[in-house]
Amino acid sequence: MKIAIISDIHANTLALEAVLNQINSLKVDKIFCLGDILMAGYDPNGTAKIILELGNLEIIQGNTDKMVACFSQELLEKAKNKFPCMGYALEDDLKIVDEKYKKFVKNLPENKYIEINGLKIQLVHGSPRKQDENIYPNTPTEEIEKMVENSSANLIFCGHTHLPCGYSLESGKTVVNVGSIGRSMTQDKMPCWAMLEINDNGTFQIEHKTVKYDNKKVSEIIKSRNFKHSDDLAKMYV
């Protein structure tokens, strides 16, 4: 069975379409999405519509989905102080995101267990411990062991940092950060996702995949949204 795991789309329809074309050409059986579909991009409604129309999808909520869905003035001010371009993007997003998509992300679970051929998989956004916890390529394995100690899965998929990486831990657990579709922080800024292939006996292989898309165009569109600090957000795409 072939499963594509995607995360952190951040309202980037062009990047999502490029990845879905690639996924379709590889004939996958299922798609898992690890959240952050709406906030701080250019097309939250278009992105959400595509995601909702996907068949064979398992999806969980990301921390920024929660920010859009459970918005408060206090949360907005905090976001503006901590990371200005994200805070102002959120403020602008709230003017355009359709209520039905806010409701959709509000009702998503924070994590999900799925068992296939005896392989127990957990989907999380940040870590099994916390929705906005970071698992980076240089996070010490002892720390990651603590983050996953209460997970009963053999294989854990996460996103959130926008940087792909993977760990085979001493505890026997495998942890894979799939990277980001919509605002990849890799050197080339291209969308990154993971292909999981599960054999009949439960053994598996995982491979990170990437695809090219017009990131310069997306950067220009985001700059033209013209909210405060939109130029800073635009720079993150190129």
Footprint of Fe ion (CB under 5 A): 8, 36
CB of 174 to Fe ion, least distance (A): 22
Which CB atom, from 8 or from 43, has the smaller least distance to Fe ion? 8
Residue whose CB is less far from Fe ion, 3 or 9: 9
Query: CB-wise, 198 or 236, nearer to Fe ion?
Result: 236
Return the structure tokens found at 136: 């980076």
Decide: 10 and 180 in contact? Cβ < 8 Å.
Answer: yes
Closer of 36 and 204 to Fe ion (Cβ) = 36
115 beta partners = 120
Distances (CA, A) of 86 to 10, 40, 82, 143: 11, 6, 9, 27
Smallest distance from Fe ion to CB 110, Å: 14
Minimum gap (Å) between residue 115 Cβ and Fe ion: 27
User: Could you tell me the CA-to-CA distances from 121 to 65, 112, 118, 151, 154 in Å, in that order?
Assistant: 22, 8, 9, 10, 6
Shortest Å distance, C-beta 35 to Fe ion: 8
